[in-house]
Structure 1
Amino acid sequence: MSTEPKKISSSRISISELMLPSHSNFSGKIHGGYILSLMDQIAFACASKYSGRYCVTASVDTVDFLNPIEVGELVTLKACVNYVGRSSMVVGIRVVSQNIQTGKIKHSNSSYFTMVAKDDQGNTVSVPKPILNTLDEVRRFYDSIRRIQSKKEHQEHISRFDHTSQEALDKLSDYGVTLAL
């Protein structure tokens, strides 16, 4: 496969689907797990389209369900590669729902999926370096770098944190916790 630099815009993809009663949860809203499944599918399609490779989901960063999706609404997912590493890509996904009778559109959620390109034997492989053509693509690239760095710093903090220290145990009282060790 070619690893010649490639325009980020070539990764853009969108899908739309009418939400059916079979997609709903017990409260009559569309089940979040169903939306997550659609998001995983579009992340795969977006990353595979960009890289020309089979891709797997490595991580999902923060999925906040902002507005509920109703049965009968048209859901549209838009995805684009925002960042490219050696073998990984961060795919930004935006989900909106539209009431097809009134035309009202709601932003339902956004998320970032880290996808990794694989060869036929399941080994990670290099992906094309990105060509950024707009300032919006530059912003998204830098936003991804910031999120990646923040995640690394958080992991470093967690690996150094001693939950058994007296300071950590004392701090629990700030959260209304009573220790009965």
Structure 2
Amino acid sequence: MENKYIRESRVVKTSHVFPEATNNHKTLFGGQLMRDIDDIASIAAMRHCRSEVVTASTDSVDFLYPITPDDSVCLEAYVTFTGKSSMEVFVKVIAEHLLSGERKIGATAFLTFVSLDENKKPLSVPKVIPETEEEKNLHQTAPARAEKRREHRQASKELAGLLTTQKPWE
């Protein structure tokens, strides 16, 4: 399997922030942004592996700057690191004030996707080749994030073992 440049998975989408996509604070509704993040990240993952994918986890969505209807919102996603069948995808959300041109990082997110074959079984994925400083930094720091992901997943499994599936009204 041939390695791929990170740029081959890059996806960029820019949109207006319309009032119906805002919350009571007149900022972009977080749930809307999270949906858009998962959507663009899945496209980046599929571009990398050219197979079906499933979201395995969302490590974090960090809201750093409020995005308003005066802004456009630009989401940029790309695969930063791969395991055997998994891919870490980074999403950078840039808010641009459309009148002044001022740009700020509105949010960042890391998601993990798993490549699937036609039988919905994990499928091997190519390794990535970083080129830019940003790509190199994210690629280099990915193993530490992967370890934290494994620890968090184990803790989640342990917590799930303590939870009940009983209906709360019974």
TM beyond 0.5: yes
Aligned residues: 159
- CA deviations 1:79-130 (Å, max 9, x no partner) are 1111011111000111011110111112111110101111222111111122
Trace 1:33-44 onto structure 2 (pairs within 5 A): 33-44=31-42
| Secondary structure of residue in 1 paired with 2:24 | coil
> 2-side partners of 1:7 and 1:37: how far apart?
26
Question: Which of residues 140, 143, 156 is equivalent to 1:142?
Answer: 140
Q: How far has the Cα of 1:145 moved from its partner?
A: 0.4
Matched residue, 2:114: 116
Letter in 1 for 2:79: V
Letter in 2 for 1:25: N
> 1-side partners of 2:99 and 2:157: how far apart?
51
Matched residue, 2:21: 23
| Secondary structure of residue in 2 paired with 1:143 | helix
Matched residue, 1:170: none
- CA deviations 1:17-66 (Å, max 9, x no partner) are 11111101122111000011110011001000011011111101121211
Relative to structure 1, the CA distance from residue 120 to residue 74 in structure 2 (aligned partners, 3 Å threshold; closer, same or farther) is same
Letter in 1 for 2:96: Q
- What TM-score do you get using the length of structure 1 for normalisation? 0.79
> 2-side partners of 1:115 and 1:92: how far apart?
11
> 2-side partners of 1:127 and 1:89: how far apart?
8
Which of 102-111 and 31-40 deviates more?
102-111
Gaps of 5+ in 1: 161-181
Residue 5 in structure 1 maps to residue 3 in structure 2 = yes
Identity %: 31
Relative to structure 1, the CA distance from residue 52 to residue 108 in structure 2 (aligned partners, 3 Å threshold; closer, same or farther) is same
| Secondary structure of residue in 2 paired with 1:79 | strand
Question: Which of residues 128, 131, 135 is equivalent to 2:129?
Answer: 131
Q: Which runs of 4+ in 1 moved over 4 A?
A: 153-160
**Greater fraction of residues in strand:** 2
> 1-side partners of 2:153 and 2:124: how far apart?
25
CA contact (8 A) 2:12 2:74 kept: yes
Q: How far has the Cα of 1:158 moved from its partner?
A: 8.0
Matched residue, 1:66: 64
Residue 152 in structure 1 maps to residue 150 in structure 2 = yes
Rg comparison, structure with higher value: 1
